[in-house]
Structure 1
């Protein structure tokens, strides 16, 4: 008879079981090789009650301090602006050798805020992660076990992070179905500014522009919305608090790329104004090529 497989973690704690957090719990619930004991923690009584109803955790806690005692791995899944505050609460009570992680979409400001806290707790490894997956929905009902399948998860561990901790978090995300890559926080924030943050900024802005139109035209926009506008509205339906924090915490990289986009948009406008077909067709072809690449890379 084969020996039972030892789980990657004995106790895994998810603080903030929203879309990402509840998806981690669902995957770990299905695959008990990930963790023997799953703990969900949230300050909202409604969220805690719903997590209990969904039965996606073995225990549900209101207090992060109580939730993390004895845990092998703690993953903070709250908006970027609150990550450091939660880290400050849990680090003093985490057991030696445990791993602290988070799933924020911005890394530089999080690292700047958390590293001074880590200095007082050198026996805790910090391995930030960013699963590049999501939908426009939020809350514990929004999650699903296959959310991370074939998606990238970017790790940004500080220098001198124990290799064993990086290996365990890498294994965690691979068991979630993700592809994993390590990079610096600066490179991460610049990459995410162009592939995620700027597109969301544009979607929110375009929907705002449509909403500001005269009543008659606005009604027609809503009545006759074509696929392009519908795609923007799907992105624009994302959680306001989360995206406020992302924009403000990644402002330098985002504003730099926004300036480049404005210049490129003006160049395209000038090509349309002057009838420069070569520029127009060239830009469209580049867009088509990017789309084909995404499909080939299984990211579309």
Structure 2
């Protein structure tokens, strides 16, 4: 999506957008906003790390860069929290009291029930809150990791609260559509169960498999690293993800993750039995179902 000088100008979603935490997700939003000019007229990046602030300034992806959460929140009509899920409540506690009446708070956390619970004590009746989760990313982090097309044709899941402000939901949904994302609305509970199987469990397995490989005897371990095949390399790409972010995800969505892990463990044990007893039909069925899911992802433009 790029601006076309021959077509009418598109009114930005917001006048001032404050992105708190310009890492992979936050800096990608800022880059998209810079590229299209349709997200906000003014961009504020908030980062507590002075080195990252300097880098964001050098990259030129925001009009103003600051470490002052309250000041940025007071200037914006939309505040987007792009910090690790474990820090959402603490940052919201600083941002919300400073926000303008009528402004919108949103977040990009990959768990929703825990984030909503952390933010809820600080919510105000005159500030709408729209929880969101753009399901896009790479194994890289920091301001340099972002790119304007990160969300292109990826899903952004928006979750509804009992007292949801429909107009605020529409505005945040439109922002993500202008980022290139496909959007869907669901309850926080359903979101967390879905993400436990499609995102959180795969990461948990990748970290665990790489840990198992690292614990092997020295000779075998060196061969694993020397002769790693494509399947193992795929696991290592996922396992290279930010450890603090994923620690917070695992702990904040523990119930749904443990439920899915238990179901996976049962299926893994069933596969082990099939291999032990030579149950070819069971093994082939599992492989075929995996192939079918892969084909569906390709057809749905998610692979």
Structure-1-length-normalised TM-score: 0.98
SS of 2:75's partner is coil
Q: How big is each residue's C-alpha offset from its partner over 1:2-59, in whole Å with a ceiling of 9 and x where there is no partner? A: 8754321110000000000000000000111211000000100011000001000000
Residue 268 of structure 2 aligns with which residue? 265
Of 38, 49, 64, which aligns to 1:33? 38
- Whether 2:169 is the aligned partner of 1:166: answer yes
- Whether 2:42 is the aligned partner of 1:21: answer no
Which aligned runs of 4 or more in structure 1 are off by greater than 2 angstroms?
Answer: 1-6
- Whether 2:133 is the aligned partner of 1:115: answer no
Residue 135 of structure 2 aligns with which residue? 132
Q: How big is each residue's C-alpha offset from its partner over 1:176-197, in whole Å with a ceiling of 9 and x where there is no partner? A: 0000111000000000000000
- Whether 2:61 is the aligned partner of 1:56: answer yes
Q: Which runs of 5+ in 1 are unaligned?
A: none
Alpha-carbon contact 1:23-1:144 (below 8 Å) kept: yes
Of 228, 244, 256, which aligns to 1:225? 228
Question: Where does 1:143-182 land on structure 2 (aligned, <5 Å)?
Answer: 143-182=146-185
Residue 243 of structure 1 aligns with which residue? 246
Of 256, 261, 271, which aligns to 2:259? 256
Q: How big is each residue's C-alpha offset from its partner over 1:49-104, in whole Å with a ceiling of 9 and x where there is no partner? A: 00001000000011101111121100000000000110110100100000000000
Distance 2:173 2:7 in 1: 26
Residue 211 of structure 2 aligns with which residue? 208
Q: Which runs of 5+ in 2 are unaligned?
A: 1-5
Residue 195 of structure 2 aligns with which residue? 192
Which shifted more, 125-134 or 106-115?
106-115
Of 76, 100, 114, which aligns to 1:95? 100
Distance 2:98 2:225 in 1: 52
SS of 1:17's partner is coil
Residue 65 of structure 1 aligns with which residue? 70
Alpha-carbon contact 1:126-1:157 (below 8 Å) kept: no
> How far 1:157 moved relative to its partner?
2.6
Instruction: Tell me: CA distance 1:2–1:149, structure 2 relative to 1, closer, same or farther (3 Å).
Output: closer
Residue 3 of structure 2 aligns with which residue? none
CA RMSD of the aligned region, Å?
1.1
Distance 1:4 1:233 in 2: 44
> How far 1:231 moved relative to its partner?
0.1
Distance 2:208 2:274 in 1: 23
